[in-house]
Chains A and B, each alone.
Chain A
Amino acid sequence: MAEYSDRKDRTITTRWQITGDLAKFILTQDLSHLDDWGGKEAVREVLPEHYQKIFDLVQTDLINCLLEEKNRKTAMGFAECMGRWGDWFHSQLDQGKKVVYHYFVHTIEPMLALDLAPICLEVLSGLTAALYTDGCEEGIDAMHAEGYPDHLCSSNMGGAGFLLKGYVPKPDAFLKGTTPCDPSNRVYEYLARKFNAPLIVVETPYYMNERALKFLTTEMKRMIGKLEKIAGKKLDEDKLREYIKLSNETGEYILKIQELRKLVPCPDTGWHRPADTIFTAQMGTPFSRDYFKGLYEIVKERADKGQGVIPEGKKEVRLAWGYTWECFDLPFFNWLENKYGAIYTEDCLTLFPADYAMIDTTNMETMIEGLAQRMMQVPMARQAMSWSDTWVNDFVDVARAYKVDALAIGGHMACKHFWALNKLLTDKVKEKTGVPALRFEMDMMDKRFTSPSELKRIMDDFFATF
C-alpha cells in the first residue's frame, strides 16, 4: 500500500494520488459497471478501507464511464500518470522545493530545471471539479466569502479558495502571464498580496509576429531571472535542455493524436479531453510524456483498425468545441458519443498549432526563444490574447480538416472577451464553412451554474433540430 500524507496542506494532491490508485484498482477488476456488483454502495464494501473515503467522493457516473471498454485503457493511463504526478509533487515538497503557482499558459521547463515545484492553479480547480461530486465548489465559495464576485473565473477561484482553506501548500511565488483575461490577473494579484508572495508577471503581447516574439523572448529572460532568485540558483542549460526534450517529445505525441482525430471514424474518445490539460500543463515531465504516448498508442491502434468510438449502427456526428468545455461532468462527452454518436474532434483549449511542438535545443538562446514561441501558441491564449482572426481562422481550419458537422460553443461565464466575440466567431465560421454552431452558457468548473442535467437538455434540444 502506498504511503499517503495526512497533512492538511496536501489535502487536494493526496486525494488525487489516492484517486489514481483507486482507479487503477477498480480498472483491474472484472467490472464493466458498478451495478455489476450491486451498485456503488456494494462496491464500496469490497474495497480496501483506505480507498473507501475517496471512493465516496468520486463521481459515480465517472466511474461507470471509465469502466466502459472503450475508455478503460485511457483511464488506466490517466490514473497512472495522475498518481505519478502526485508522488513527484509530494517528493518535491519533502525535499523543501519552493512552490510556484502558475497560470496555465506557462510552460514549466524552466521551473523544473531550477528545481522548483510548479503547480498550475487552474488544474487544481479543473481536476478536482472533474473527479469529485463536490467538485471545486468549496474553493470557489471560499473566495466568494472573501467578497469576490461570482463573475470571476472559477478556474482561478477554485484553486485560490483551496489556498485560502490551506488545502494546498503555501506559495513561494506566483507566475502569471498577463493575457488572455482580466479576472485571472486580478485573482493572482489578490493571492500574491494575501500570501505575501512575489508575483512574477510575464507580459504577453497582443500580436503574433516577430516584434511580439522578440518582446516575449525578453520577457522569458526576465521571468527566468526572477525565478532564479526564488530558487536561489542559476538556470542550468543542460537541465533545461533535458526537460525541453521531454516536452518536445510530448508535443509530438499531441500533434500526432490531433492528426488521428481527423480520421473518419474518429478513433479518440471524448471523456478525457478536458482532463488532458493536467498533463499539457505538465509538459516537460516524464509522466506528461508517458500519458500522451500511451494515449497516442491507444488512438493509433484504433485508427489502424478503422475503429471509431461510437456505438455500432450510429452515424458519427463530428463536433468541435469552439471554445471551452465543462470539467465537472466528463461522462457528458461519453454520453454524447453513446446517445448521439457525437464525437469530440477538437476544442479551443487543447488545439495545438502544427508549429507548436519543437523547440530548438541548440543553446540557451534558442531554447528561450522556443519557450516564448510556445507561450504565444499555447491553446486558448493563442486564440484569446490576440485579434479575432486567429480564433476564427483556427476554427475554420478545424471545421474543414476534421470534417466537422457542428460547433458546440460552451461559453464560460467569466470569459468576457469570448462573449464579446461569440457572434462574430460563429457567424464567420458558418460563412466560410457552412458549419452551424450551438452557443450556450456554462461555467467550466462550477456545476451550479449550468447543471449536468441542463447541459444534456441543451444537447437534446440541439440534436432534435440538428
Chain B
Amino acid sequence: MTAIEELKKLPSREKNPYIKEWKADGRKIVGFTCHYAPKEIINAAGIFPYRLEARGTKETGLADVYYHRFNCTYSRCILQEGLSGGYDFLDGVCFLNGCEQIRRMYEVWKEAVPTTDYQYMVTVPHSIYDEGFEWYKEEIFRFKEDLMSNFSVRLNNSDLQSSIGVYNESKHLLKELYELRKADNPPISGTEAMKLVFAADIMPREKYNTLLKKSLKQIRSRDGIKDYKARIMVGGSPLDDTQLIEIIESLGGIVVTDTLCGGSRNFQEFVEVEQDGDPLAAIARCYYYSNPCPRMLGHFESRLQYTEKIAKEANVDGIILQRVVFCDNHAVDNTMLADELEPKGIPVLNLEREHMLTDVGRVRTRIEAFIERISRR
C-alpha cells in the first residue's frame, strides 16, 4: 500500500492498527477533545495523543441517557463511543472547556466510562489577552505536572523541544499540502486531502510525518484536477470525516481549503522557542494566540479576517459554513460571517447538519443549489 493509501484508509479507534501496535509495547494513549490541548506535551511524555472523534458513529442511544437532544450530535457521538467501549484503549483523556457541551463531557466520562483511568481538565480563557495567556500557560503547566505524576514519566525541556520539532514538521508538511490545493488544477481532491489531514491526530506523529512526506511526493507528480464547477472552502463546526466533502465533490465542487479547527487552523503558526526560552510557554503562546476559534469572545474581526485571507489565498468561488445542530458558537459565528462576506462578493452557504449526516438528501439539494449559483461553468 502506498503512503497516501495508508493515510486515506486509516481506520479510527479500535480498528486503527497503530493503536494496537502502540499498546502492544505497553505504551500509553491519552485522548483530547479540542484544538487547545497541548499535544506536544503529551507526545513529549512518550504518550500518543489521540483526538477524540466519532467517525462512522451511527447512533447516540447510550449517550442520550446522559446528554439530551438539545446537545449537538458531535458531542453525543463522541460520548456514545466512550460509553460503548469505542475508547476503551485510552489510558486517559485531556478534556478542555472548548465549548459548553464538550466541557461537560468530563463529568459524564468520569462517572460512566470507567475504563479510562485518567481524566484531566485544562481550561482556556474565552478571550485573548496577556492575563488570559498567563492563566492558560499555568493550566498546561499543571497538566504537564499531573501527566508526569500520573504516568510516572519524566519530561524535560529537551523532550519538549524534540516533540515541538515533530509537530512543527507536521505543520510544514500540512502547509505544503494546502499550498498544492491552491493550484488552479489541484493535484488532490478535498476528500483525499482531508483524509490525510484527519489522520494526523489519530496516529503517532513521527510515523504520520514520514507517511505525509511520501504522500506529498506522490501528490506533486500527479496531474491536476480540471473537471470541477466551483472551488469551495469549508468552515464551521469540527469535522472528523469526509462525508460532507464527498457530497460537495460529487456535485461538481472541489474543496480547496478550510477554516476548520482540525484543518487549516491546525498549522497556521509554529511553536517558536526562543534561545534558552521556555518551550512550555512557547506551546501555550502558539495555541492561545493563533487559533481564531469562535468560542473566543470579542475576536470576531480576527476570525473574519482569517476567513477572508484563507478564501482569497485559495481563490475560492464560495464558502460552505456548516454547523452541527445546537452548536451555538458556530451558529452565531457562521451567520455573522455570512452577513459580512456576502456583501464583499464572497458567496456563503450557511448549512445546518447532524454529525452523522442523517439527512443527506436535504444537504445534497442545498449544496447542489449553491454550486449552481457559484459555478464557473
Contact = CB atoms under 8 A, between A and B. Distances in A.
A436 to B, nearest CB: 17
A417 B104 contact: yes
B347 to A, nearest CB: 15
Interface in B273-308: 294-295, 297-298, 300
A378 B103 CA distance: 21
B295 to A, nearest CB: 7
A417 B100 contact: yes
Contact of B328 (A186, A203, A219, A422): A186
Contacts, number: 125
A218 B125 contact: no
Given A176-B297, A192-B298, A206 B123 contact: yes
Interface stretch (A119-127, A177-185, A316-324, A337-345): A177-185
Interface in B91-106: 97, 99-101, 103-105
A420 B101 contact: yes
Nearest to B101: A416
B67 A201 contact: no
Contacts of A152: 328, 331-332
Interface stretch (B7-15, B157-165, B187-195, B333-341): B333-341
A147 B97 contact: no
A149 B65 CA distance: 25
Contacts of A190: 332, 336
Interface string A122-159: 00000000000000000000000011110110000000
Contacts of A414: 70, 328
A181 B100 CA distance: 6
Contact of A151 (B70, B126, B300, B336): B70
Interface residues of A, number: 45
A355 to B, nearest CB: 23
A180 B97 CA distance: 11
B111 interface: yes
Give the one of A152, A186, A421, A441 with max B CB within 10 A. A186
B298 A182 contact: no
Contacts of B125: 178, 203, 205
B297 A416 contact: no
A424 B107 contact: yes
Nearest to A178: B126
Interface string B108-134: 100100000000010101110001100
A148 B331 contact: yes
B335 A219 contact: no
Contact of B131 (A176, A178, A218): A218
B68 A411 contact: yes
Given A416-B100, A417-B103, A189 B332 contact: yes
Contact of B333 (A178, A186, A201, A419): A186
Contacts of A218: 131
Interface in B304-338: 325-326, 328-329, 331-333, 335-336, 338
A416 B135 CA distance: 25
A187 interface: yes
Given A206-B97, A420-B71, A423-B65, A186 B329 contact: yes
Contacts of B170: none
A441 B103 CA distance: 22
A387 interface: yes
B66 interface: yes
A248 to B, nearest CB: 28
A416 B111 CA distance: 19
B168 interface: no
Contacts of B328: 151-152, 181-183, 186, 414, 416
Contacts of B67: 419-420
Given A151-B328, A186-B328, A186-B329, A420 B298 contact: no
B210 to A, nearest CB: 38
A192 B108 CA distance: 35
Contacts of B99: 182
A222 to B, nearest CB: 7
B131 A420 contact: no
Contacts of B121: 206
A151 B100 contact: no
Give the one of B99, B332, B333 with max A CB within 10 A. B332
Contacts of A185: 126, 295, 297
A388 interface: yes
B297 A188 contact: yes
Interface string A277-289: 0000000000000
Nearest to B75: A420
A151 B297 contact: no
Given A151-B326, A201-B126, A420-B100, A189 B300 contact: yes
Interface in B49-79: 65-68, 70-72, 75
B264 interface: no
B243 interface: no
Contacts of A193: 300, 336
Nearest to A151: B326
A336 interface: no
A223 to B, nearest CB: 12
Interface in A180-217: 180-183, 185-190, 192-193, 199, 201, 203, 205-207, 215
B267 to A, nearest CB: 25
Nearest to A389: B107
A413 B294 CA distance: 21
Given A201-B127, A424-B108, A416 B326 contact: yes
B334 to A, nearest CB: 9
Contact of A203 (B70, B126, B332, B339): B126
Nearest to A183: B328
B242 interface: no
A181 B127 CA distance: 14
A146 B332 CA distance: 10
A149 B331 contact: yes
Nearest to A179: B126
B95 to A, nearest CB: 11
B105 A420 contact: yes
Contacts of A411: 68, 70
B350 interface: yes
Contacts of A179: 126
Given A192-B298, A206-B123, A417-B100, A151 B331 contact: yes
Contact of A423 (B66, B100, B105, B325): B66
Given A181-B100, A185-B126, A219 B65 contact: no
B201 to A, nearest CB: 23
B131 A219 contact: yes
A411 B328 CA distance: 17
A419 B65 CA distance: 11
B132 A203 contact: yes
Contacts of B350: 147
Top 8 closest pairs, chain A to chain B, by CB:
A420-B104, A186-B332, A178-B126, A419-B68, A206-B123, A417-B100, A182-B328, A183-B328
12 contacts: A148-B335, A178-B126, A178-B297, A185-B295, A185-B297, A186-B329, A192-B298, A203-B125, A416-B70, A420-B67, A420-B75, A420-B107
Given A176-B297, A201-B297, 12 more contacts: A148-B332, A178-B127, A180-B100, A188-B297, A193-B336, A199-B297, A203-B135, A416-B71, A416-B104, A417-B100, A420-B68, A424-B107
